[in-house]
Amino acid sequence: MLIRHAPRFTASEITDPKLYLSRRELISGAVAALALSPGPCESATPQGPSLSATRNAAFSLSEPATKAEHATTYNNFYEFGVNKDDPSRLGGTLRPRPWTVQVDGLAHKPKTFDIDELIRLFPLEERVYSLRCVEAWSMVIPWIGFPLAPLLKRVEPTGQAKYVEFTTLLDPAQFPAQKPGFFGYSSLDWPYVEGLRLDEALHPLTLLTVGMYGRVLPNQNGAPVRVVVPWKYGFKSAKSIVRIRLVTEQPKTSWEKASPQEYGFYSNVNPAVSHPRWSQADERRIGEFRRRETRPFNGYADQVASLYAGMDLKKNY
Ligand code: MTE
């Protein structure tokens, strides 16, 4: 999904990802497995302290989870670079403590929460969600977190609040790719900004996430706190959040600013609407070789389709 200043492209960016992935699939299993295996300097699984949470079966897939070593070494986190292994290789510069999250904007009781205070405020749940990336791959991950809704309700949104804007930390000392001139610097406008409509943000599936695989969230997956919105393409799930702001206007997101014809505000997973450069009809689960059909709203249509009743989802991609 990258747009970058020439000439610093890698093969995965100048090639249609579908083609690129299918070429990779031709490579022997051993080599492909190696490509997804952690390198000598990378951590294979979340190494942080364990985090206990009760599984919420009603909100969990029964499919087996993607191997933790894949979910923690094949990442998109452009603040660390554009390659899938950059976040796990370079993520050590991010300091997830001390950390605060400002929840403000159009709210009667705006508040800045210390991350540990936030984690203690709401009971943690484990939910197994599939995350479908716009690049046509997906993973099934046991996330740990709590629904965003009670946090938003706690700050009491005013009647003018219509959208929620999420902002990632801006700190070039912690995120090397935020330094101008960084090799592999993307054309994203930092800080990374994402947004949801207020009813999407309040939906019980929308999870503020602080852990995965029974442990605290590794840096490469968005420590110390990220959002996970499982019916939307993965880029809507902003990582390392420092601010959650209630606003009236639809937020201008980083990807929309970079390439509006490719990345819309809604970005609901939709096999019927192709990305301008590749199809969204199917996907590859990381760790598997076969392709699977992509399901509308990433399989969560029963829960979320009603949010979009009457909307043209081809126009509102
Ligand atoms: N959040 C920030 N701040 N920066 C990013 O580059 N990448 C997004 C999303 N959140 C991104 C981000 C994209 S494109 C995807 S697919 C998911 O994070 C990937 O999450 P994962 O690496 O935990 O699988």
Dist CA 72 CA 221 (whole Å): 7
pTM of the model: 0.88
Judge whether residue 148 has pLDDT over 60. yes
For the four alpha carbons of 74, 129, 287 and 45, in that order, the dihedral sign comes to: positive
Confidence of residue 12 (pLDDT cuts 50, 70, 90): very low
Ligand 1 pocket check for 66: Cβ under 6 Å? no
pLDDT tier, 184 (very low <50, low <70, confident <90, very high otherwise): low
Least confident among 38-42, 70-74, 245-249 = 38-42
Has residue 3 been placed in a domain?
Answer: no
| Exposure letters 6-18 (e unless 16+ CB within 10 A, then b) | eeeeeeebeeebb
**Would residue 223 count as lying in a domain?**
yes
Chain center to CA of 239:
6
Residue range 9-35: mean pLDDT, rounded: 36
Q: State the distance from the centre of ligand 1 to the C-alpha of 221, rounded, in angstroms.
A: 7
Position 37 in a domain? yes
Task: Evaluate whether residue 193 is within a structural domain.
Answer: yes
- Which one, of 286, 122, 291, 297, lies nearest residue 209 by Cα? 122
What is the mean predicted confidence (pLDDT) over 186-203? 94
In this predicted structure, the answer to whether residue 19 has a pLDDT above a threshold of 70 is no
> Is residue 6 in a domain?
no
What's the angle, vertex CA 77, arms to CA 76 and CA 83, rounded to 5? 60
Number of CB atoms found within 10 A of residue 237's CB: 24
Q: For residue 28, is it within any domain?
A: yes
- The enclosing domain of 43 has a CATH number of 3.90.420.10
pLDDT digits (tens, 9 = 90+) for 199-231: 999 999 999 999 999 999 999 999 999 999 999
The protein residue whose alpha carbon is closest to atom 17 in ligand 1 is 234
202 occurs within a structural domain: yes
Phi, psi of 141 (to 5 degrees): -130, 130
Count of structural domains, the chain: 1
CA nearest ligand 1 atom 12, residue: 238
C-alpha–C-alpha distance, residues 61 and 127, integer Å: 8
| pLDDT at residue 13 in the model | 39
pLDDT above 90 for 9: no
CA–CA separation, 201 vs 204, rounded Å? Answer: 8
Share of the chain above pLDDT 70, in %: 84
The 10s digit of each residue's pLDDT in 238-257 is 999 999 999 999 999 999 99
Give residue 152's domain range. Answer: 17-308
Instruction: Note if the bond before 224 is cis, omega within 30 degrees.
Output: yes
* Helix and strand element counts for the chain (H, E): 10, 13
The reported pLDDT for the residue numbered 2 is 57
pLDDT at 212: 98
> 50-59: b or e for each residue (b if 16 or more CB lie within 10 Å)?
ebebeeeeeb
Structure tokens at 273: 């609407």
Q: Ligand 1 centroid to 117 CA: how many Å?
A: 25
Alpha-carbon distance of 36 to 139, in angstroms, equals: 13
251 token code pair: 């937020």
Poorest-pLDDT segment among 4-13, 53-62, 105-114, 152-161:
4-13
Residue nearest to atom 23 of ligand 1 (CA): 221
Residue 147 in any domain: the answer is yes
